A = this chain, B = another copy of it.
Amino acid sequence: MENRSTCPISIALEVVGDKWSLLVIRDLLFTEKRTFSEFLASDEKISTNILTDRLVLLESEGIIRKRKDEHHRQKVIYTLTDKGLDLLPLILELGAWSGKHYKVPSWAKAHIRKLKGSGPDGLKAFRQQLRKAHQ
């Protein structure tokens, strides 16, 4: 991919700057969803072709990895790489911003506030947990 500029903000937007990619990352970070059909079933009703496209992009950028489920060999599951796990602070800032400026469920707001409020050590511990779950 040739970048449109060397600005780090621009580069990040070229990779995850769309309305859908970070929703897959959200599902992987905060839910047990790991398969195509589970992502498809999320509230936002992503279409199959957009989901296919985004999974290919995220895998090619090394943000997610794809493998066969060890218990059900016909099932393909997706997990986050370390680079993908590094999107956690960004996702939290997205949620914190709209929690401040839009009407969102109070449980979601509380969840984000709690995670952000846990500070660098709390986030590190949460990331460790996630890392284990995504191995």
Contacts and interface: CB of A to CB of B under 8 A. Distances in A.
A14 interface: yes
Number of copies: 2
A126 to B, nearest CB: 16
Given A8-B98, A89-B96, A17 B15 contact: no
A93 B99 CA distance: 17
A68 B85 CA distance: 44
A128 B5 CA distance: 29
13 contacts: A4-B45, A6-B108, A8-B95, A8-B96, A8-B98, A9-B23, A9-B26, A9-B95, A9-B98, A12-B97, A13-B19, A83-B101, A86-B101
